[in-house]
């Protein structure tokens, strides 16, 4: 084989290698986290682009508590500093919850000051599920919802049910997220 032919083969291999993005440490860790996920039947993940493990949707469908019967999608956006930085998680539908504001920001300690690289995606998903079982009025993002929960639990539960059906609470109209009627 001539040197020119070997050289041109090497060049085309280099070009192919450049086209294929290098797998980052974050991608490798996310792949490991996803492989180890032990999701309950109340959670599913969806990857709009199967090539992109750093951006996906988690669908959470609580089977107990005040939010039972509804379905919530959360977008997960993981940057290349993962696991040194937590994933960015947003609630896609507009919901009435003390720990989730109207823009979908989520107040979960492990997504902020309590994040540690030993935590994984499973920890975050379990944390999100817990927010629907035990909304925390002491660490609110939606102060109105938190005040309702503290002052009048029954009224809060009525507001939750109304909001899940796409109703209006205190002048805000919420997205319909009920999947089953109760």
* Banded model confidence at residue 182, pLDDT cuts 50, 70, 90: very low
| Residues belonging to the active site | 107
Kindly report the three-state secondary structure assignment for every residue of the chain. Answer: CCHHHHHHHHHHHHHHHHHCCCCCHHHHHHHHHHHHCCCCCCEEEECCCCCCCCEEEEEECCCCCCCCCECEEEEEECCCCCCCCCCEEEECCCCCECCECCCCEECCHHHCCCCCCCCCHHHHHHHHHHHHHCCCCCCCCCHHHHHHHHHCHHHHHHHHHHHHECCEECCEECCECECCCC
pLDDT in tens, 94-142: 999 999 999 999 999 999 999 999 999 999 999 999 999 999 999 899 9
Question: Which domains, from first to last, does the chain contain?
Answer: 20-173 (3.10.110.10)
Sign of the CA dihedral running 73, 37, 137, 77: negative
pLDDT in tens, 76-89: 999 999 999 999 99
pLDDT in tens, 133-180: 999 999 899 999 999 999 999 999 999 999 999 999 999 999 999 986
């Amino acid at each position: 084989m001539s040197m020119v032919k070997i050289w041109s083969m090497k060049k085309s291999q280099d070009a192919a290698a450049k086209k294929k993005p290098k797998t980052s440490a974050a991608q490798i860790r996310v792949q490991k986290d996803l492989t180890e996920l032990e999701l309950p039947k109340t959670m599913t993940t969806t990857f709009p682009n199967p090539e992109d493990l750093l951006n996906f949707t988690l669908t959470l469908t609580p089977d107990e508590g005040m939010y039972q019967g509804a379905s919530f999608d959360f977008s997960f956006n993981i940057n290349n500093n993962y696991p040194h930085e937590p994933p960015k998680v947003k609630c896609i539908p507009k919901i009435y919850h003390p720990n989730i504001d109207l823009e979908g920001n989520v107040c979960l300690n492990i997504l902020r000051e309590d994040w540690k690289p030993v935590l994984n995606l499973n920890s975050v998903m379990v944390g999100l599920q817990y927010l629907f079982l035990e909304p925390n009025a002491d660490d609110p993002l939606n102060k109105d919802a938190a005040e309702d929960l503290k002052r009048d639990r029954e009224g809060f539960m009525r507001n939750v049910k109304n909001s899940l059906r796409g109703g209006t609470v205190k002048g805000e109209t919420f997205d319909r997220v009920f999947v089953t009627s109760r």
